[in-house]
Structure 1
């Protein structure tokens, strides 16, 4: 069991903790957007799209209220460590080798999801359900101030991070494992984005709940501190920091976000600088993302990687670092990467391989981030074009979140 590192950080945090210890800045959310949306929803002046997004949020929160709390203890496959508290997932694009009777070692078929990797036997779906579920509940609590939502969110946090009988150990050593291969790959760190994208902001949203205590906050801070330490100190974490594709970008996002939440601004700034420098070898002269264009789902992974990079840039705003305008010595930048992708919105053909139809709405969180930063008519027009592609009956999470936090935006 990997409890020593968690226990060590718990003791440190208990000695140093105060209510103001953690950052008061959101990671993904925006304080002004939240306040404006809440006020307009209460007054009934929000756009129809925002009111619909809010209604969907409450429906989703009500659904989560009825679900059992996810826990790593529910998996049926025991990790190599023998400890079910260790997170376990299997890499989705790997399949049994048909040339071998036992199927080992598994082989990679990029872009083709093996359904056996997505079952309840491992933890990936549970982790995603926990992260998204806590986030949805915390937003519902913020907008309604109904303690029912906060109580369930806190219960889910307790099950996944705090209760010693059910908690996940703060590492991803067995994430994206592959049958027949040693556990020396850092790619499982990608799964951790389900924690870092949602949990720090959720903790900020539920901080005003009567159910949330200093003791619980202390233990959550200790868990996140231990996980950050694993990311930057462990052999797998160090390997993750050296990756130059979307895995490396989401690694850097996790480190930057956790460092900001935990008040380690120097580490956050250092990671942002490293991210800026990574653009030189990540992008072509035209803005194409070299490693993502090699994938069989090249448009999706290009958007996926750029979303990580823009998420880091948004955090940089809180420490006076303008990654948005950063250019390498060869003029490579975030805006150049977006321009390369945005042509498809205007009808240009995507010239790279892709197993699936290009989904223009994959660009939505990226373009929304650029619009929020620059507020230009060009980005407004691009946003409108993307939003026009969204099926009103779809369950597109990107469009729902956009409308929830942009109550004044006009189509």
Structure 2
């Protein structure tokens, strides 16, 4: 991109990076910052982009109002227990084996999603629908005060987690299973990422609605507590915790996020400490994320892992831990990992395989967080450049970037 275009966008972008803004915190929503956006929408002082994002949010939320609530009971493939309350999914990058008559055991094709793993026969698609629905509906309720949205979001939460006939049991023993392999896979715990990302926030946003009661919160907190117990005490959970890539990072994010929400500060500090220590293995001396670079979607997974790690850093800050400035004995840090990506934001070609091409969208949340916690303007400048690139892409395609839309509404950026 020409430098004059970048500077032009820097002049029109104002980033809300004070301590009172939402800043894409995964939990404990800062309602002061969120309320600022809401007030501007309703008094007409918000930017046209913010108003457009709000209108788009309501349209998305409307699409969820009349759908049947997702439930694990709707799958047609039974888990090994024969109990449909047990969550079941099939790992997306695995395919029937062309070398065997029955296609078993399936074989892995990294980065290539097998559409047969994403059908309604298993639960992954429904979990995604529930999470996205609850997220959109709870935000729509907050901004609009329309109880229809709160009623539906509450209903979806109760169906998935609480109702006796439809609830999911609090474990992921059969998540990301692979036909032909009988043992559970620790990588399936990644499926629970959306639960940790969305549910605590939704409960904050729904707390003033009569459709979600204190008793509902107590029941869901019990479910989340049982889920943390399974994560931390099960064999699969312990194995996932030891993974030195994005899987290990997102495991620690889940445990830290839900631990913080439920008031377990020692557990949060344990996860943040482990995440800090993991930088020694995850990064090389240049800041390359060595495990993610081996993937066929190397840029995507480099951003994906940083999203988890900086999310953990946000949580750490709320219990007095400063992961933002933490360095290993060899000088490895979050900042070093992002600095390695800087030349590619500036136009240098990505030298590793990414079969879907380089997309900077996944890097935006990390840059927003680092911009807030850095003493220099370096990451603020990178954030400006990256948003400018995405805005240019929007103009070319005519499609709004979902990441930018979400961050605008949550008060992290204002374009």
Question: What is the TM-score with the length of structure 1 in the denominator?
Answer: 0.91
Q: Look up the match of 2:128.
A: 128
State the alpha-carbon separation in 2 of the partners of residues 285 and 28 from structure 1. Answer: 34
Contact 2:28 2:204 in 1 (8 A): no
Aligned ranges for residues 75-114 of structure 1 at < 5 Å? 75-114=75-114
Deviation at 1:95, TM superposition (A): 0.6
Deviation at 1:240, TM superposition (A): 1.1
Contact 1:40 1:407 in 2 (8 A): no
Deviation at 1:105, TM superposition (A): 0.3
Q: Look up the match of 1:399.
A: 404
Q: Look up the match of 1:349.
A: 349
Contact 2:29 2:204 in 1 (8 A): no
Tell me, yes or no, if structure 1 residue 304 matches structure 2 residue 304.
Answer: yes
Between 1:101-110 and 1:180-189, the stretch displaced more is: 180-189
Deviation at 1:304, TM superposition (A): 0.5
Aligned ranges for residues 154-193 of structure 1 at < 5 Å? 154-193=154-193
1:409 to 402, 407, 414: 414
Q: Look up the match of 1:225.
A: 225
Between 1:367-376 and 1:251-260, the stretch displaced more is: 367-376
Q: Look up the match of 2:137.
A: 137
Instruction: Report how many aligned residue pairs link the two structures.
Output: 386
Q: Look up the match of 2:9.
A: none
Deviation at 1:384, TM superposition (A): 2.5
Q: Look up the match of 2:256.
A: 256
Structure 1 residues 77 and 227: CA distance shift in structure 2, 3 A: same
Cα shift readout 1:271-301 (whole Å, capped 9, x = no counterpart): 1011101101110100010110110110000
Deviation at 1:383, TM superposition (A): 2.0
Q: Look up the match of 2:382.
A: 382
Gaps of at least 5 residues in structure 1 are: 1-24
Q: Once superposed, what is the RMSD of the aligned Cα atoms?
A: 1.6
Contact 2:241 2:252 in 1 (8 A): yes
Deviation at 1:404, TM superposition (A): 1.3
State the alpha-carbon separation in 2 of the partners of residues 372 and 75 from structure 1. Answer: 43
Contact 2:50 2:414 in 1 (8 A): no
Contact 1:138 1:149 in 2 (8 A): yes
Between 1:272-281 and 1:370-379, the stretch displaced more is: 370-379
Contact 2:161 2:223 in 1 (8 A): yes
Q: Look up the match of 2:210.
A: 210
State the alpha-carbon separation in 1 of the partners of residues 30 and 107 from structure 2. Answer: 42
Match of 2:207, SS state, is coil
State the alpha-carbon separation in 2 of the partners of residues 296 and 208 from structure 1. Answer: 45
Match of 1:197, SS state, is helix
Structure 1 residues 187 and 28: CA distance shift in structure 2, 3 A: farther
Deviation at 1:343, TM superposition (A): 2.0
Aligned ranges for residues 258-277 of structure 1 at < 5 Å? 258-277=258-277
Deviation at 1:377, TM superposition (A): 3.6
Gaps of at least 5 residues in structure 2 are: 1-24
State the alpha-carbon separation in 1 of the partners of residues 347 and 270 from structure 2. Answer: 39
Match of 2:255, SS state, is helix
State the alpha-carbon separation in 1 of the partners of residues 342 and 75 from structure 2. Answer: 41
Cα shift readout 1:324-371 (whole Å, capped 9, x = no counterpart): 111111110001111112321110111112212111222111112222
Between 1:194-203 and 1:347-356, the stretch displaced more is: 347-356
State the alpha-carbon separation in 2 of the partners of residues 229 and 338 from structure 1. Answer: 33
Question: What is the TM-score with the length of structure 2 in the denominator?
Answer: 0.90
